[in-house]
Amino acid sequence: MDIPALPFCKVSLKAQKAPAPAYPETLKTLGDHLRKRRLDLRLLQRQAAQKLGADKASAHNWETNRTSPSLSLVPKIVDFI
């Protein structure tokens, strides 16, 4: 009765991975676009902030729509998105 899974049965299940819980469902703000792109690239906020020339706290504030980026960073953000 204690028979393990059949060794000759080669079955593999494939499914699409569910998006992260923080993944935005609708893209309404700049912060939503930034978060979506960062998660698509599988980057941490720290890594995305480095690419944009900002610090981690700024990137977090942008993604949560607490603040807006300065105009000098907009070209880098557009390239990132």
C-alpha distances in angstroms, 80 versus 29, 34, 63?
15, 8, 14
**Among the residues of 1-72, which ranges form H helices?**
30-40, 45-52, 56-63
Distance CA 71, CA 55 (A): 16
CATH architecture assignment, domain 30-80 = Orthogonal Bundle (1.10)
Q: What are the tens digits of pLDDT across the range 7-36?
A: 666 777 788 877 777 788 888 999 999 999
Closest CA to 69 of 27, 15, 61: 61
Q: What are the tens digits of pLDDT across the range 31-79?
A: 999 999 999 999 999 999 999 999 999 999 999 999 999 999 999 999 9
Distance CA 30, CA 36 (A): 10
Distance CA 49, CA 70 (A): 14
